[in-house]
Structure formats: C-alpha cells, structure tokens
Amino acid sequence: MSKKIAVLTEETIHDLEFWYPYYRLAEEGYDLVIVGPEAGKSYTGKMGGVIRSEKSPSEISAKDFAGVVVPGGWGPDKLRTHKAIVDFVRDVHANGGVVAAICHGGSVLVSARILEGVRATSYKSIKDDMILAGAEWVDEAVVVSKNIVTSRTPSDLAHFGKALVETLKKIK
C-alpha cells in the first residue's frame, strides 16, 4: 500500500487538528499531500495560520493514497460542498484506505456516505448528522471502526494520532 496521505484544508480548518496529524504522520515516514479545493491556494485556519494546498482532487487519484485526514474546525462545512473533495474521500474509503476525521470533520464523512454500520464519534454538534448517516455514535476520545478513525475535539489529538498511525500500519 502507498505511503501517501492526503490532509485536507479549506478556510477555517482548525489549525491544531490539521498540523498535529500532519506532523505525527511525517514522523512515521508518510508522504503527505495537502489537498484543498484549489491547488496552490492559501487557506486561513480558524486560529489564523495559513495552509497552502499542494493539490486539488482533480490532480490526484484516490487509488494512490493510503489514507485521508479530515481536520475539524468550520472548514469541513465548506469542504463538504465540493463534490470533488467528497468523491475523493469516498474513493479512498472504497479502495480500502484509512479515512480519519476529527471534530466537525465527520460531516465530510456524512456527505461521502461512508458511515453506514460504522461506530464513530465527533464533535457533539454533528452527532445527529452522523447517526442519521447510519453511524453508531459514541462519546469516546477516539473510535476505530473498519478503516475509519474518528475523534471529538482538539483535546483528543494524542489519541487520534496514535490510533491513526496504528490503523495505517494494519493496511500495509
């Protein structure tokens, strides 16, 4: 399996929920690609940091990726409006890759329609959305179900990073 991981970005992505998994995966030797709706665009995070996308979904193929990380913040509400982003997440999942989402990132998984029969968690405000999408929602720091890794908030990042790395290692 590829060592390539997409980390999604958009305006108002939660900076910590982007950078923590990014650097945790870099420590493990993964090839990280910052993917946004537009390649080469700089997006401003919820906390004011700037994240420049390297690629757009139209420039990459899900089959080349071992996984995708969907950070939280308010950015996922924007990400889910981009069909190409949602299709990319769905395709990574369909190809057996790991899909990881923290906080509001779960809303992209809802739009990708990959939560049916999956045990998952998220920020509490999207709990109902996840349940209506078919997830068994639980209030836990991190949940791994099949190849989907979910967490609730920035305070869960250490658990999220550890579970993400462990899950990726299982698909090699």
pLDDT truncated to tens, each residue of the chain (172 aa)?
Answer: 679 999 999 999 999 999 999 999 999 999 999 999 999 999 999 999 999 999 999 999 999 999 999 999 999 999 999 999 999 999 999 999 999 999 999 999 999 999 999 999 999 999 999 999 999 999 999 999 999 999 999 999 999 999 999 999 998 6
Active-site residue 82, yes or no? no
Residue tagged active-site, from 14, 93, 104, 159: 104
Question: How many distinct structural domains can be found in the chain?
Answer: 1
- Nearest CA to 93 out of 139, 149, 138 is that of 149
Instruction: Specify the CATH number for the domain of residue 52.
Output: 3.40.50.880
Domain extent for 53 = 4-170
d(CA 155, CA 145): 20
Distance CA 39, CA 48 (A): 20
> How many other C-beta atoms are found inside a 10 Å radius of the C-beta of residue 123?
20
pTM over 0.85: yes
Interacting residues of 18 by C-beta distance below 8 A, sequence separation 6+: 7, 9, 45, 51, 71
Per the residue annotation, which of 14, 82, 93, 103 is the catalytic one?
A: 103
